[in-house]
């Protein structure tokens, strides 16, 4: 379905994105993620491909991921949120992200944790309020496309489900084509971190509901591997070994709502 008429008007005075070279120069996608590392695990090849083609990619990360694991020791006085922000900035640099926006919500933790109800938790946030903030970013950036998550949040994490709800509401406000990042539940060629995170629960979406597939080439794949490796506090070393990486992470999947948009320009499979 095409997006409804936008409720937030686009300003004629909004400055255009900085000039970039490439076939997608002057076009912008906003990519919403729940935690630092999700951008690398689920959408890095797509982001890198868009940036290579000249598109402006704005990454919006909703939480600091402060309840994630700590796989590498922290420095004295350093919090996990501090570390994850540094890791996120490194990943953004590797992927060609033009602007990083941190929404500043708190990580809600896994489903059922008491932290789900913390007043600052993303899962407890007022969806219309956060959606309006996101829509305003999209409009200010003259974005045409918003990326968020499938209705199940890819694997059910409360913050990922919140990202879906916020993304749907923001897209309606700003009148955007949306792509919902997912994984194909039937097209799995290697062990993906999402399987570990899901702990045997439902993961991704059925092939028939997936509209757009982006296959990483060697350049995108190297960038994705480097971006995932940048999140060393979260991503185990085994996951970023060269062997098996392409099979597990070389493909990215999206559901689409709205007319074909920016991601279909870089897709290997696009249903039009």
Binding residues for Zn ion (CB under 5 A): 34-35, 38
Nearest approach in angstroms of CB 9 to Zn ion is 33
CB of 164 to Zn ion, least distance (A): 12
Distance of closest approach, residue 63 Cβ to Zn ion, in angstroms: 8
Residue 155 beta carbon to Zn ion: minimum distance, rounded to whole angstroms: 9
Round to whole Å and give the CA distance between 157 and 16: 36
Which helix (H) or strand (E) segment is 160 a member of?
A: helix 158-174
Give the tokens for residue 225. Answer: 């591997």
Provide the 8-state DSSP code for 122. Answer: G
Instruction: Give 8 or 124: the residue with its C-beta nearer to Zn ion.
Output: 124
Return the number of the residue (57 or 154) whose C-beta is nearest Zn ion. 154
Of the pair 34, 166, the CB lying nearest Zn ion is at: 34
CB atoms within 10 A of CB 14: 11
**Which residue lies nearer to Zn ion by CB, 34 or 64?**
34
> What single DSSP character describes residue 142?
T
| Residue 35: CB minimum distance to Zn ion, A | 4
Q: Which residue is nearest to Zn ion (CB)?
A: 35
CA dihedral 57, 122, 179, 196 (to 10 degrees): 100
Please, which residues have CB within 8 angstroms of residue 63's CB and are 6 or more apart in sequence? Answer: 34, 35, 103, 104, 105, 106, 107, 108, 122, 159
CA 237, chain centre distance (Å): 21
């Amino acid at each position: 379905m095409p997006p409804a008429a936008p409720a937030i008007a686009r300003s004629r005075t909004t400055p255009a994105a900085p000039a970039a070279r490439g076939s997608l120069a002057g076009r912008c996608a906003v990519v919403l993620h729940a935690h630092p590392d999700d951008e690398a695990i689920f959408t890095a090849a797509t982001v890198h491909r868009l940036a290579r083609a000249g598109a402006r990619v704005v990454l919006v990360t909703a939480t600091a991921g402060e309840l994630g694991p700590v796989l590498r020791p922290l420095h004295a006085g350093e919090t996990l949120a501090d570390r994850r922000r540094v890791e996120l900035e490194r990943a953004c640099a590797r992927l060609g992200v033009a602007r990083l926006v941190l929404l500043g919500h708190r990580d809600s933790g896994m489903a059922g944790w008491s932290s789900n109800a913390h007043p600052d938790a993303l899962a407890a946030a007022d969806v219309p309020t956060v959606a309006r903030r996101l829509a305003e970013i999209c409009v200010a950036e003259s974005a045409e496309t918003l990326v968020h998550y499938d209705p199940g949040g890819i694997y059910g994490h409360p913050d990922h489900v919140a990202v879906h709800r916020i993304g749907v509401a923001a897209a309606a406000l700003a009148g955007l084509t949306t792509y919902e990042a997912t994984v194909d539940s039937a097209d799995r060629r290697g062990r993906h971190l999402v399987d570990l995170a899901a702990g045997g629960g439902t993961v991704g979406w059925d092939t028939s509901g997936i509209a757009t597939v982006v296959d990483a080439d060697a350049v995108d794949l190297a960038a994705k591997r480097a971006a995932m490796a940048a999140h060393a506090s979260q991503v185990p070393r085994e996951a970023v070994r060269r062997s098996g990486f392409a099979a597990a992470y070389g493909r990215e999947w999206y559901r689409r709502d709205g007319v074909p948009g920016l991601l279909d320009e870089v897709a290997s499979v696009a249903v039009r």
